[in-house]
C-alpha cells in the first residue's frame, strides 16, 4: 500500500476557479510531518508548507489553504481563485520513523493545469 496517496492524477480548471488537491497518508508513527511541494514546468521543486502531527490547525497563506484532519489521515490543499501560474505538479510528502529508521515518502503528485 502506498504511504502517500494523491488520488487525482491530473486536474484541469479554468482561471479563477477554486481547486482542492487531495492527499491521504498512512503511518503508524505518532509523531510525523506532512509537506506540500510544487514543481512548475521549469522543473524545480518548491517547498510550500510543513505541518506536524500535533498541529491540526488549518493554515491559510494568501490564496493557498491547507486542511489537516488526523481522523481521516488527510492533508488537503486548496487554491482559491486559481491563476495560470499555479499550473504545476503538486506533491504531498510524509516524514516518519518506521521499523527501519527515518522514512521520507513523496506522493505520486497531482498535475494541475489552470486554463486562461
Partner 1 sequence: DTAVSQTPKYLVTQMGNDKSIKCEQNLGHDTMYWYKQDSKKFLKIMFSYNNKELIINETVPNRFSPKSPDKAHLNLHINSLELGDSAVYFCASSQGQGTSDEQYFGPGTRLTVT
Query: Which residues form the interface with partner 1 (CB under 8 A)?
Result: 33, 35, 39, 43-47, 50, 52, 89, 91, 95, 101-106, 108-109, 111
By C-beta, is 71 or 100 nearer to partner 1?
A: 100
Shortest separation between residue 21's beta carbon and partner 1, angstroms: 14
* Per-position b or e across 37-62, b if 16+ CB within 10 A of its CB: bbeeeeeeeeeebebebeeeeeeeee
Q: In angstroms, what is the minimal distance from the CB of 82 to partner 1?
A: 20
Residue 80: CB partners within 8 Å, gap ≥ 6? 18, 63, 64, 65
> Cβ closer to partner 1: 15 or 40?
40
Which cell numbers in the block locate residue 64?
Answer: 493557498
CB closer to partner 1 out of 28 and 116: 28
Which is nearer to partner 1, 13 or 49 (by Cβ)? Answer: 49
Sole residue written with cell 484532519? 69
Phi and psi at 84, nearest 5°, equal -55, -35
* Least gap, CB of 113 to partner 1 (angstroms): 14
Quote the least distance from Cβ 66 to partner 1, whole Å: 14
Cα→Cα distances 48→64, 75, 109, Å: 9, 13, 14
Amino acid at each position: 500500500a502506498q504511504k502517500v496517496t494523491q488520488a487525482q492524477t491530473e486536474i484541469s480548471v479554468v482561471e479563477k476557479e477554486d481547486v482542492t488537491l487531495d492527499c491521504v497518508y498512512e503511518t503508524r508513527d505518532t509523531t510525523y510531518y506532512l509537506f506540500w511541494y510544487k514543481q512548475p514546468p521549469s522543473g524545480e521543486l518548491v517547498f510550500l508548507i510543513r505541518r506536524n502531527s500535533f498541529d491540526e490547525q488549518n493554515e491559510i497563506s494568501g490564496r493557498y489553504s491547507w486542511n489537516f484532519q488526523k481522523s481521516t489521515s488527510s492533508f488537503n490543499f486548496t487554491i482559491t481563485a486559481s491563476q495560470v501560474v499555479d499550473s504545476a505538479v503538486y506533491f504531498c510528502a510524509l516524514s516518519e520513523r518506521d521499523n527501519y529508521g527515518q522514512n521520507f515518502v513523496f506522493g505520486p503528485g497531482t498535475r494541475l493545469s489552470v486554463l486562461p
